[in-house]
A and B are shown apart, each in its own frame.
Chain A
Amino acid sequence: MSALAAPAVPRPSSGSTLTGTGRLVRFMLRRDRVRLSVWTLSVVAFYAYFADAMGPKARAARALVMETPAGIVMGGPGYGIEDYTVGVAIANEGITWVVLALGIMSVLHVVRHTRAEEESSRSELVRAAPVGRHAPAVAAIVTLLAVNAVIAVVSALALHGASGRELPLADSFGLTVGSGLSAMVFGAVAVVACQVTEHGRGATGIGLAAYGWALALRSAGDIQERHGNALSWLSPIGWAQQLRAFVDLRWWPVALPVVAILLLLALAAFLASRRDFGGGLVATRGGRADASPSLRSPLALAWRQQRSAFRWTALGMAALWYASGTLLPEIMEMGASGAADNEMFQAVFGGSDPAVFRDGFLSAMVLFAALTCAAYAIVMSGRAGAEEAAGRAEAVLALPVSRSRWFGAHLVVVGLSTVALVAVSCYAMWVGAVQVGMGEPGLAAYTDVFWTHSVALLVYLGLAAVLYAWAPSLAPAAWLLLVYAFVVGMFGAVFDLPEVAEAISPLDWLPAGFGEAPEAANMVGLAGAAGVLLALAFVGFRRRDLQSS
């Protein structure tokens, strides 16, 4: 890959605006050595796992799913779907996700080392040294290219190796290099965005929005026509898929991302020499001089701080679980055939009888949804800690606002948002299922699932709150219960854990089957646990010193 994209890298010696690029490259690699290693290993592991994961029956079932519109959006244009081999499956389904992961990495990397540095005025120190104007941006691109190249090479070798050399090396490289170049396009978009906006967040948003557009274009094109039409060819994700790896490999489409990257970088260089250090081409819009009348309580402020995260999460979950709902018929078929030849599958999903399997599958989906909501609750309850660490809690608590009122405001917003997300997930899944004619289980079952899981999730919120209130540095330990619940929920039956061990997970107290009536005593117990934890949290938070920087 490095050979292909080499023209994208201006030589550091070519001019004084690039002085110091080499040292900055070393500095960035040093600074990000852990971060970049984790990204690399994760992507390589994803490829290697995929290459070894599916049996022939499971693949045949997946091929059915991948012909549905939802399958096409989450997968690809369907090259080779008639004979769905491992390689075809990876290329068809994997590219969208690999490009998403690498694209996020690329956008974050670029923004982190250019605009965010400028914003924090750290790069003022660097730029005051003998370092050229374009050096930080070029160094960011060079390091990005290097890490993408490493990922592409190692991934290709991993694919080849993990499949027992069944996957041809050339096609493996086509897949990984195409995906890497596609992701680099989003990195290059971020470089341009960094010249235009004043803030790192804005640039990151533009970079990720570009991915969203690319996905929408490719999906629209691929749904309209198998193997894609003109719309698919407008999308960088489509370019990687159109290499047709493992079907009928062709190399010329890699020219598209290379040209796109060069054009974007040329545009960025042109814009960069027309703006001031620290400034953008688009000035930040002014806001309100006076607060809206509703912004008059800690509760209103907490909502204001969390509402955009909530809206985006709700939107994402609605789309994800709606799509999952529409997949239900195909997944039943796929699961039934997969379950027939896989004992572990049966253990996890509760057997191979289609109805039992359907409910088992729905339960597993709900477990994922619930854990996602629990993660949201834990992340968002951390906002209180962030407010405290930044000294903003101090500003509010120095006014006539009690500790309980401030803390309660955060917990109320997080609690209601979490419950709302559970509702969105459950009912989106139901709507999706009904649309493809899966009227069974009915709305009442989804409603039971919604409220019982909501109660269980409040235990997570309570735990996160108690940890934060009594020992802020231990707050991340709430994640342990989440991981534990996942392992017990997914594999408890496989590991044959004792009941006591399973009961530690709040979700284990809920009915095992989808939509089964809950046991009243269990629900009272869960609600009681959540109540006690939250009460303890308030006691603790009122007693302790406020931490400040």
Chain B
Amino acid sequence: MTVTPAVEIHDLYKSFGRVQALDGLHLTVLPGEVAGFLGPNGAGKSTAIRVLLGLLRADSGTARLFGGEAWRDAVALHRRLAYVPGDVSLWPNLTGGEAIDFLGRLRGTVDKKRKAGLLERFELDPTKKARTYSKGNRQKVALVAAFSMDADLLILDEPTSGLDPLMEAVFTQYVREAAAQGTSVLLSSHILHEVEKVCDTVTIIRNGVSVESGTLDELRHLTRSNVTAVVSGDPSGVGRLAGVHNLAAAPADGGTRVTFDVDDAQVGAAMAELTALGLHSLTAVPPSLEELFMRHYGEALPAGTAGAR
């Protein structure tokens, strides 16, 4: 069975002058899938999205939406998608409500009830002129416009920058609702817990190329769990096991507290060793996407500039 992916990027190249923004990118979003698109600022996320929207022309490679060519069939494809940019710019002399209606009407008709509901949930005053809106409120205008459309695909480029945690929760809920109705979602972000909350799959991009891709579970297989245990015996033997990293030991009530990271493939061996030492307590924490992310960017970048926040 072959399904036509909602988004299909294959070996995509795009340069601006001497800057290679996309350097052989691959990305697939299957129908009904919520796909996270993770990468630090400047990794090429927005460039990839603009190519998908037919706003930029790729140098080579393919960018398809629902099987149609992103550049050539842009207008027809845009009937099926809604887009929220990361930095929303609105017409200064239009109110938020007018902007929502205008954007909605370019696609079809505006469902007034749905608009009213979204305005209420996002706590947005639609009667204010756009020039008086804060960044968060401009973002809300774009979100309300996007969610009030019946789209088969939502393309969201860092959509929650500027939203407070409460509004982020509202946003997450709407993404889940859309997904439940079978809408495909491409969510670009550098905020890890946002992707972790709603996404089925994740593609990690760095310097214009995808470095990791798969379901959240698949990606976790690639990483290490963090183990903390209190044992009676001397734990230094554990540190000599293959696949165990960063072992530290300190005296604790009734024995020695030991912490280490372990490759998922070596968990069994490590557990056997710990048990033999007389195990008092044990916690094992699965890697957060944060750590996964740090592994790709944290080592190469100076501290503090990694995409995590």
Main secondary structure of the interface of B (DSSP, over half): mixed
Closest 10 CB pairs of A and B: A291-B101, A286-B127, A287-B95, A291-B98, A289-B97, A398-B83, A546-B55, A391-B89, A296-B105, A400-B78
Report the nearest B residue to A296, measured CB to CB: B105
Cβ contact within 8 Å between A545 and B98: no
Instruction: Say yes or no: is A396 at the interface (Cβ < 8 Å to chain B).
Output: yes
Given contacts A291-B97, A397-B55, contact A546 B50 (CB under 8 A): yes
Complex formed: what's the CA distance from A305 to B75 in Å?
Answer: 24
Instruction: Say yes or no: is A199 at the interface (Cβ < 8 Å to chain B).
Output: yes
Question: What's the least CB distance linking A120 to chain B, in Å?
Answer: 11
Given contacts A399-B106, A400-B79, contact A287 B85 (CB under 8 A): no
- Identify which of A288, A296, A398, A549 contacts B97 (C-beta below 8 A): A288
Cβ contact within 8 Å between A288 and B106: no
Instruction: Say yes or no: is A198 at the interface (Cβ < 8 Å to chain B).
Output: yes
Complex formed: what's the CA distance from A389 to B142 in Å?
Answer: 18
Contact with A along B78-95 (1 / 0, CB 8 A): 110101010111110111
Contact with B along A536-549 (1 / 0, CB 8 A): 00000001111011
Cβ contact within 8 Å between B91 and A399: no
Complex formed: what's the CA distance from A543 to B155 in Å?
Answer: 23
Instruction: Say yes or no: is A29 at the interface (Cβ < 8 Å to chain B).
Output: no
Instruction: Say yes or no: is A420 at the interface (Cβ < 8 Å to chain B).
Output: no
Question: What's the least CB distance linking A538 to chain B, in Å?
Answer: 15
Complex formed: what's the CA distance from A296 to B99 in Å?
Answer: 10
Question: What's the least CB distance linking B152 to chain A, in Å?
Answer: 13
- Identify which of A289, A290, A400, A546 contacts B106 (C-beta below 8 A): A400
Instruction: Say yes or no: is A395 at the interface (Cβ < 8 Å to chain B).
Output: yes
Starting from the known contacts A301-B91, A392-B89, 14 additional A-B residue pairs (CB-CB under 8 Å) come to: A286-B125, A287-B129, A289-B97, A290-B112, A291-B105, A301-B102, A391-B88, A392-B90, A392-B91, A394-B50, A394-B53, A399-B107, A400-B78, A400-B106
Q: Number of A residues contacting the other chain (C-beta, 8 Å)?
A: 35
Chain B positions within 8 Å of A42 at CB level: none
Cβ contact within 8 Å between B107 and A400: yes
Contact with B along A482-501 (1 / 0, CB 8 A): 00000000000000000000
Complex formed: what's the CA distance from A297 to B102 in Å?
Answer: 8
Cβ contact within 8 Å between B127 and A395: no
Question: Of residues 364 to 395 in A, which have CB atoms within 8 Å of B's CB atoms?
Answer: 390-392, 394-395
Interface residues of B (CB under 8 A from A): 50, 53-57, 74-76, 78-79, 81, 83, 85, 87-91, 93-95, 97-99, 101-103, 105-107, 112, 125-129, 131-132, 142, 155
For this complex, 15 residue pairs linking A to B, each with C-beta atoms less than 8 Å apart, are A284-B129, A286-B127, A286-B128, A287-B129, A290-B101, A291-B94, A291-B98, A298-B106, A304-B91, A395-B85, A396-B103, A398-B78, A399-B78, A544-B57, A546-B56
Chain A positions within 8 Å of B74 at CB level: 397, 402
Report the nearest A residue to B80, measured CB to CB: A400
Chain A positions within 8 Å of B78 at CB level: 398-401
Chain A positions within 8 Å of B101 at CB level: 290-291, 295
Contact with B along A15-45 (1 / 0, CB 8 A): 0000000000000000000000000000000
Chain A positions within 8 Å of B55 at CB level: 394, 397-398, 545-546, 548
Chain A positions within 8 Å of B75 at CB level: 400-402
- Identify which of B54, B79, B102, B155 contacts A291 (C-beta below 8 A): B102
Chain A positions within 8 Å of B107 at CB level: 399-400
Cβ contact within 8 Å between A289 and B127: yes
Complex formed: what's the CA distance from A404 to B295 in Å?
Answer: 46
Complex formed: what's the CA distance from A290 to B50 in Å?
Answer: 29
Complex formed: what's the CA distance from A289 to B98 in Å?
Answer: 6
Chain B positions within 8 Å of A544 at CB level: 57
Question: What's the least CB distance linking A307 to chain B, in Å?
Answer: 10
Chain B positions within 8 Å of A548 at CB level: 50, 55
Chain A positions within 8 Å of B93 at CB level: 304-305
Chain A positions within 8 Å of B97 at CB level: 287-291
Report the nearest B residue to A401, measured CB to CB: B106
Given contacts A398-B78, A545-B56, A549-B87, contact A287 B128 (CB under 8 A): yes
Chain B positions within 8 Å of A394 at CB level: 50, 53, 55, 85
Question: What's the least CB distance linking A284 to chain B, in Å?
Answer: 6
Chain B positions within 8 Å of A400 at CB level: 75-76, 78-79, 106-107
Chain A positions within 8 Å of B112 at CB level: 290
Question: What's the least CB distance linking B89 to chain A, in Å?
Answer: 4
Contact with B along A519-549 (1 / 0, CB 8 A): 0000000000000000000000001111011
Question: What's the least CB distance linking B77 to chain A, in Å?
Answer: 8
Question: What's the least CB distance linking B142 to chain A, in Å?
Answer: 7
Question: What's the least CB distance linking A23 to chain B, in Å?
Answer: 29
Complex formed: what's the CA distance from A546 to B16 in Å?
Answer: 12
Question: Of residues 255 to 291 in A, which have CB atoms within 8 Å of B's CB atoms?
Answer: 284, 286-291
